[in-house]
Amino acid sequence: MLSQHLKAGTHGNSRPPALHMKALVLTEYNHFDLQDVPQPTIRPNEVLVRVQAVGICGSDVHGMDGSSGRRIPPIVMGHEASGIIAEVGSDVRGWTTGDRVTFDSTVYVLDDWYSRRGQYNLSDGREVVGVSTPDFKRQGAFAEFVAVPQHILYAIPDNVTFTQAALVEPVAVALHALSLTPIQVNDSAVVVGSGMIGLFVIQALKLAGCGTIIAIDLDDDRLALAQKLGATHTINARSGDVAKQVQELTHGRGADVSFEVVGAGPTVKTAIECVRKGATVTLVGNLAPTVEIPLQAVVTRQLRLQGSCAINGEYEAALALISSGRINVEAILSAEVPLDEGADWFKRLYAKEKGLIKVVLKP
């Protein structure tokens, strides 16, 4: 007995008892518990981040009820986060405790064929923080601490708050979509959907020098916000022939480029109908797995349909644009609340409460 006790005691001395933290756990579909759980332990290439702010993403809200199949419980969700490094692994270089950081929402493998080609967003086996599928589970940031590998970290500029930094991911998604779209100064652009990503696409198009930026949505409040953030024209999709209205604003030709940021059949069709011949239609939204497209219009008008997936290196630019005030992230911030109110806010977002765009939790 005694020797066993000593043995256990030796182990106990070499590794202190696990520290605990508060975490908002999706314990089953549509049900959260604020639990006391062990802090994540870090691998040699990882840092432990004390989370200061974390956004609730649309994909978290859709994932909550099981419909997306990408939040298999139990899981701590949350991939749009910022915080302070609390601990660094033995192989970590260039980062130290106390650093203010945000991180890529995806954990990609550095020696992947795509990563080596500079397309880490397409790399195989890429995992998303705070997501669980049949293939992987990675605990996220709706908690006091989260562990992430060093190669996905970004330093937060001094004048950018943790809340602003928690909103950098959707800005980067918008910048990535622009990077795949041929745009010249004074081009005309249509943005179908004025939700969060759409509003960042509009701001980025203004920075890229577009002369005419046409926002299309069903919600007049969102269209008003789109106008405030850089849209030169707004069209409520209920107001009749949208394509004709766009033509009237674009010399009768249609827009030079369009962006679809909803991901549904009717909006994809609108994005295709609103462009001129030879244009690029960049597809960002992907709610529906399958939509019908007007094939002949795409072929005979020689359109290019360009998919845009997540982010591929746009974090630094997004942080710089927030830092210099050229991208306004506060405009889409609806509420900043403590982590323990998270479950309630999930419910309100799930119920599509009017006027709610982005909610940020503060652990």
Min CB(79)–Zn ion separation in Å: 6
Backbone angles phi, psi at 34, to 5 degrees: -85, 110
Q: Are 279 and 302 in contact (CB under 8 A)?
A: no
Using CB under 5 A, count the residues that bind Zn ion: 1
Min CB(311)–Zn ion separation in Å: 10
The residue sitting closest to Zn ion, measured at its beta carbon, is 57
- Among 57, 101, 223, 229, interactor with Zn ion by CB under 5 A: 57
Min CB(257)–Zn ion separation in Å: 24
Closer Cβ to Zn ion, 131 or 153, answer by number: 131
- DSSP summary character for residue 15: S
Give me the residue label for tokens 């080609």: 117
Q: Stretches 52-60, 212-220, 223-231, 251-259: which one binds Zn ion (CB under 5 A)?
A: 52-60
Q: Stretches 49-57, 146-154, 175-183, 263-271: which one binds Zn ion (CB under 5 A)?
A: 49-57
Q: Stretches 51-59, 189-197, 246-254, 299-307: which one binds Zn ion (CB under 5 A)?
A: 51-59
Q: How far is CA 132 from CA 48, 72, 120, in A?
A: 20, 5, 20
Closer Cβ to Zn ion, 57 or 160, answer by number: 57
Closest Cα to residue 235, out of 247, 225, 248, 246? 246
Q: Stretches 55-63, 149-157, 283-291, 295-303: which one binds Zn ion (CB under 5 A)?
A: 55-63
Q: Are 21 and 144 in contact (CB under 8 A)?
A: yes
Min CB(136)–Zn ion separation in Å: 17
Min CB(70)–Zn ion separation in Å: 11
Is residue 81 close enough to count as binding Zn ion by CB under 5 A? no
Q: Are 139 and 165 in contact (CB under 8 A)?
A: no
| HEC-encoded secondary structure of 80-133 | EEEEEEEEECCCCCCCCCCCEEEECCEECCCCCHHHHCCCHHHCCCCEECCEEC
Distance CA 363, CA 349 (A): 19
Min CB(108)–Zn ion separation in Å: 16
Q: Stretches 32-40, 53-61, 160-168, 303-311: which one binds Zn ion (CB under 5 A)?
A: 53-61
Contact residues for Zn ion (CB under 5 A)?
57
